[in-house]
Structure 1
Amino acid sequence: MARPKIVVVGGGFAGAECLQRLERKLGPAEAELTLVTPTDYQLYLPLLPHVAAGVLTPQSVAVSLRRRLRRTRLVPGAAIGVDTAAKVCIVRKTTGELVDVPYDQLVLTAGSTTRTFDIPGLTEYALGMKTLAQAAYLRDHVIAQLDLAAVAEDPAERDARLRFVVVGGGYAGTETAACLQRLTTAAAKRYPRLDPSLIEWHLVDVAPKLLPELGENLGAKAMQMLRRRGVEFSLNTSVAAVEADSVTLTDGRVLPTRTLIWTAGVAASPLVHTLSTETMRGRLVTTAELTVPGVEGVFAAGDAAAVPDLAAGGGAITPPTAQHAQRQGKALAHNVAARLRGGLLRPYRHRDLGLVVDLGGKDAVSKPLGVELSGVPAQAVARGYHVMALPTVTARTRVLVNWALNATAGDDFVRTGFQAGRPARLQDFEETNAFLTSEELKQRYEEE
């Protein structure tokens, strides 16, 4: 008899964790394991700001999937549609070829993309921080602004190139602004013609407080640390329009700038809308056991799924964090194996272990198990957590060595040029226009 086909879409925290455990739980004769992913690595997203700032090399946060997964077949491509009636996942391989990948059990851990709004100029000029390529591009872009400002004859051009705007006061935006501000401050010392006092960093967020998930006290301490380093804040404010050389805020101010970094939240992968099942806040509705109601043999978890938060209660769903995704991957492995063997599925329940925000250097705020920390103790907790959360010893070693090298030798602030010449738009990096609509999916199978 043919082995049941288990197909996992997405090699992030949930997908990689699920497959690694399935390889242990299931014998080779019990199931055929397949992973659909455009890259052969798992991105450790929480440390992406460190890559953009040059504190870590890109390889440090790109954990090899082939090192973790020994029996899983990797399909190099992106899933762009799912036909649940035919039990087929449509994949666009990295060559552009469309192939059908049949499944008996489908695990959707497709992750998320950058959330955008209908703001004039946003998708044309905003830079993102969601992928490894975006982090590499952003680092080159920021250093290029210093290079160009140093030789600019026009004071207005110089001021615009030295003004950097970050939108989003959550973890991603705050850490990105903090890490890159340290980069530009240190790099300015290598530019004799640049006045470091002209470099401006602005953090904009529609919320009234920074890092509201950490509570008012720690959010205020984070603001205090960053203000001491020269970062300016515009809270209760959003972006009204974006142009190539300026950003207009909703309070009427116009900030001349050549750099807008957009980190204002995430949206579930467009893949979820090809299933025609119920969604909540754009994410696939699942049961507590991580199954998708109304379709046979489909599980979902991570940023693409609206998983009931049993620990919080009250109809809450788990937030799209790496901590939840990784632990949902463990629950997925148990339930997929149980489904194959006729066992009982377990509901996902997890109490949050706390939150950490690394602001670079000795600055950090953390809340492990509800205990509020700031400064050096918080930094020790933050970096200790990241090291332990990295899935391989090799990745942990690379990160520790990179941190130590950066702390002792500093950075050379060079532009690699790896992403030079490619479009910088969010949809180009994240390929959000590549997915099939429900109508296109139906038409595809009618033609066949």
Structure 2
Amino acid sequence: MSYIPPQNIEAEQSLLGSCLLLGQKAVDEASLIITEADFYRETHRMIWEVIQRLSTQNIPIDIISVSEAFGNRLGKIGGRQYLLQLANATPTLSNIPIYAGIIKSKSLARLKIAECQETIKQLVNEEDPTEIISKSMLSDMRILNQGKKDSIERVSDRLFEVYDKIGESKGKNGITGVPTGYPDLDRIGGGLQVGMIVLAARPSMGKTTFAMNIARNVALAGNKALIFSLEMTKEQLIRKFLAMESGLNSKLFNNAGEIQEEQWKQLARGLNSLQEAGIFIDDTSGVKASQILIKARRFKSLNPDLGLIVIDYMGLIAPESNKGNTNEKIGEISKIIKTMSKELNLPVLILAQLNRGVETRDDKIPTLADLRDSGNIEQDADAVMFLYREDYYNNPEEGAPDPSETFVIMRKNRLDGGIGAAKLIYFKAVQRFTSIARPDLKEAC
């Protein structure tokens, strides 16, 4: 099927004409939006390349200098006559951003068409569709990044915005991010800031339950929480939420015959409370980081009040490709998660397991070194928190006591805030972490 690719020759001519008439100022303005590859007509790409070269050499840009720079190649673009035509055909000199925006938009459309055509070709050749779709998602990210405007801003343009944000935190006990619901932890980090936040612990330490408690607190405070659960099903997580909200021992849910009438009422009150909470779960297993990004991007577009994304957990995210070693694959995953946080302007809490080395030493309090077999997680993370329960190691035969004293240790924090430890009480039976002892919850344990 033949077709004319998306293009706007008039916009290309008007922009080049503006540059020939206005010189460096126009070139600088256009260069923030477009590149040589964005022009559809080859002669226009040639003219822009010469204009850019003159610009970098600090040579004044006009019809004469551009003509001289072409030398004996001038005939290939239509001669000096065509340069005069470009200057004379420019309707308005002040519309450079508009011309450049049109050119960029058409260029992105052509890139997407070319990518789709390549995808069709690969599918027709019966290549792995899952691999093709994943690559297509990454390609979309690259195309979108090409369409972004210049990221350089003058500090003074953002000063008052940051100042106002600091002022707002005064009425929130110094919390500038999303509150976790745990005051001692929020005092350390200022709440959950925009960034990739790693929550790590050994298996069965309680990291999934703690992450769900944070998601619950965020949602009940009025923001939405989106959970990508690669390990547990939606039903399993909902049972956790019902236990923590009702204060009932979660084991009762496996034998409803033992639930007393008053406990049914507790369960109903917990259910009603959760109905008001904006908690959303995707329990698709084996997904890639790029697929999570696409889903999160779509969800955020429909739910601007999204306050937190939780991913459980890093080790179960499928690699983008089968190339490279384990560390390289995990490194690519962590970079996509970091990109997600920055693009969506949200904290992303991602869970990870510690390596076994922590169990071979006397001091079992986790450090950043315990993440170092996990690719670039330690390097890419904006903040790293560890869960530590001393009784986890001291009671291997009897099992940990319930409730259990638990420490959330902030080991790395390059966001607003510091490092330190917050002590919490973990009521395992009712799936709750609290900042203080709760006799009412202890009765259910």
Q: TM-score, normalised by structure 1?
A: 0.23
Q: Which has the larger radius of gyration?
A: 2
Higher strand share: 1
Structure with the higher fraction of residues in helix conformation? 2
